[in-house]
Amino acid sequence: MSEETNDPRISRRSRVVGDPYGDGGGAPSSATDVEGDEDEELEEPGWGRGFLQNLWGGVKEIVIIAVMAMVLSFVVKTWLIQAFYIPSGSMEDTLVKDDRVIVSKLTPGPFDLAHGDVVVFQDPDHWLGGLPVAQNQPGVRGAVHKGLQFIGLLPDDSDDHLIKRVVGLPGDHVVCCDKAGALTVNGVAVTETYVKEGDTPSGGRPPFDITVPAGRVWVMGDHRSDSSDSRFHDDGTGATGSVPIDDITGRAVMIVWPIDNVKWLSVPSRIYEGVPAPTKGTPVAPSTDATTKAG
């Protein structure tokens, strides 16, 4: 045993692993101590590289998650829902200035428009021509603001959209107002509980008697005396004041800001439940494949 232990041909590994002391005794040799120190020194650079690799892996994961979140937000904003902010009081008291609303882009589309729906639509024919154009924020801040709006992380504050309530669908005969001062749709008076308190269905404006053309809707604001809607842009026939369905971005379904006013936007079915379908022979818009009505 002593000859094997003292044999200089014994490998460093056998001393360190097989016999830590290399001499069969209890005292470590100086050579073994030095070799052990070298092993420890060789391990330090490896630990540093591992830390940097883990850090880089974490950064890459965060970047991938952020990009996926932005792509998902863009997809949702483009085809499902989009946020808008309310710039005026024309829809009071249902919506007030600076409210933020969520708009479903599934209506119109998979879901049909219904009487009473609150819809966002693009300016159909320079309705907003008299309003000042919103000034974009300058520099990097403005670019970031527009970018977040584009991908859907900020509500759209563009000045080319309006929000009103659908009162007449394609083919409807809409009259304002009957002897009792109520709006009628296809000969049935409608009790519009959503009209701003203290206002009237006519809003003190001239009467009208129109039939909604095919592919279009007749819209009015809930604050009738302070809303530049279909009434103001019509030639008396319903053709120029009505809004093309193709210009409708979607139906407002929820108020999400301010926090103390978060609520769903819906119309009690009883308001329009007695309104019959348009009379046969009246032009109507082509039907869609949807079987469920929103609202």
Report d(CA 211, CA 239) in Å as an integer.
8
DSSP assignments along the chain, one per residue: -HHHHH-TTS-HHIIIII-TTSSSSSSPPHHHHHHHHHHHHHHHHHHHHHHHHHHHHHHHHHHHHHHHHHHHHHHHHHHTEEEEE--SSTTTTTS-TT-EEEEETTTTTTSB--TT-EEEEE-SSSTTTTSPPPPPPPHHHHHHHHHHHHHTSS-B--TTEEEEEEEE-TT-EEEE--TTS-EEETTEEE--TTSPTT--TTTTPPPEEEEPPTTEEEEE-SSGGG---GGGG--SSSTTTSEEGGGEEEEEEEEEESGGG-EE----GGGTTTPPPPPTTS--PPP-S--SB--
Compute how many other C-beta atoms are within 10 angstroms of the C-beta atom of residue 261. 12
Active site residue 164: yes
Is 165 exposed, middle or buried, given 0-12, 13-18 or 19+ CB atoms closer than 10 A?
buried
Catalytic residue among 88, 90, 202, 242: 90
* Structure-block tokens of residue 290: 């949807």
Residue 280 is among the residues annotated as catalytic for this protein: no
Choice among 77, 104, 105, 164 that is catalytic? 164
- The C-alpha atoms of residue 58 and residue 22 are separated, in whole angstroms, by 45
> Could you list the active site residues?
90, 164
